[in-house]
Amino acid sequence: MNASTQSPAGIVSALQRASDQRIWLKVGRLFDGHQSRGACHLVLDRQAILHVGSAPPPLLVRPGQISPDLDLPAHTLLPGLIEAHAHLFLEGGELDPTRRASYLKLPREELLARAEPRLERLLRLGIVAVRDAGDRDGIGLALQRRNESAQRGAMPHIESPGAAIHHQGRYGSFMATPLEAQGGIEAAVAARVAEGARHIKLLATGIINFEKGTVTAKPQMPSEELLRAVAAARSHGRQTMVHCSGNDGVANCIGARVDTLEHGFFIDAEQLARLRDLDIAWVPTFAPVQFQLDHAGELGWSSTVRDNLRRILDAHAARLCEAARLGVKLIAGSDAGSHGVPHGHGFLRELELMEQAGLSAERVLRSATGESSDRLHLAEPSGRLAPGKRARFLLTNAPVLDSVRHLRAPSIVFFDGEVFTGGDDASRPGL
């Protein structure tokens, strides 16, 4: 049978055989997480990729096999996507401010019950790993524990910091607990690690004042305190994930040599060069601010605020392109759960915004796959198509390497032997 003419159902059926045998694929294009290739062969089993490149040696395929199980010249294969900044406990698709405020008052058990159904929906969109950005009720940690259990079910790999760390009375109480309540920064870091945190989330600043068009509050954490937090995290083998916007706050994060700078609005060109030199990765999170501009009328924003939002986003886009030119490590994260940023679909929107800012589709995909995988050191090695990596990928006949907007087209998602099709209905509530 000529597999290149198979129906989607036939392709799915062939891939499902990977649950008990090796499968040999040949595709017209392959993106390995860092660069694209032309026609390429891949051999995999349920758990891992065994070969990527030219025709595989006989020892890697089934005895007597001389041709691929699937020959798909019109298809592109790429790694599953990594969402590097999401608040899994929040429902970003809920737009009504009153209902959003009520949501945060729900008991922990209800928050967890609402978060769990999101997980398979993310997988169906091709998101195979999520770096959670923190919550004070341990929802992310509970999902991480489920992920690590034998009864994980259909869900992406999840790593959580538990509660973020902030200062009493400053921004972030809805997702953080204050370091003052735990005897200082080193004790707060140690407490998070004891609870199972896979990384440490710090709130170095507040947020943007849209009325003023800048960050008006002074940074929460000075460079010296951040430096101690980074040292404490690294003593436990953990990376730091640091919420920060505003030039002064960014300067403090650079001085502390944090691992990833989250948001980073108002960063300047000199600071971008420092990120590159110090190997600090940047997660720019366009989506929440873009939502404010796209829905300014419903949100009641004045013409002054709209002008501020446009200026902020235009400057952020210019800085993103400059960062790419300089060689800064760029990691894609949407801040899903924020107002107007639904899980999964908000991440696809973030990738589109990065492309609209001026990055090529391949550069954007790299930030959501290989660069993320290399920098975040996830416990389950996804985001790359290479021998030894997990068999977690998207197979599509849409031109995703030409534009990331084609990630919204139907695709086949392979995840550790399970095959998912059909994507997700964005109109369904709960994300």
Tens of pLDDT, residue by residue over 108-164, are 999 999 999 999 999 999 999 999 999 999 999 999 999 999 788 899 999 999 999
Amino acid at 368: A
What pLDDT shows up at residue 3?
43
Taking the C-alpha atoms of residue 249 and residue 307, their distance in angstroms, rounded to an integer, is 24
H or E segment to which residue 31 belongs: strand 23-31
Q: Are residues 148 and 293 in the same domain?
A: yes
What pLDDT shows up at residue 2?
45
H or E segment to which residue 274 belongs: helix 269-278
Q: Is residue 294 part of a domain?
A: yes
Closest to 17 in 3D by CA, of 417, 421, 420, 389: 417
Closest to 387 in 3D by CA, of 42, 36, 37, 15: 42
Closest to 341 in 3D by CA, of 306, 301, 292: 292
What pLDDT shows up at residue 4?
44
Q: Is residue 223 part of a domain?
A: yes
Q: Are residues 129 and 75 in the same domain?
A: no
Comparing 410 with 323, the larger pLDDT belongs to 323
Question: What is the count of structural domains for the chain?
Answer: 2
244 by Cβ neighbours in 10 Å (0-12 / 13-18 / 19+) ranks as: buried
Taking the C-alpha atoms of residue 394 and residue 421, their distance in angstroms, rounded to an integer, is 10
How distant, in Å, are the alpha carbons of 131, 300, 309 from that of 304?
35, 11, 9
Kindly state the DSSP code that residue 309 receives in the 8-state scheme: H
How many C-beta neighbours within 10 Å does residue 183 have?
11
Q: Are residues 36 and 95 in the same domain?
A: no
Residue 231, helix vs strand vs coil: helix
Domain that holds residue 65: 3-80+384-420
What pLDDT shows up at residue 150?
77
Tens of pLDDT, residue by residue over 324-346, are 999 999 999 999 999 999 999 99
Q: Is residue 428 part of a domain?
A: no
Closest to 78 in 3D by CA, of 124, 28, 120: 28
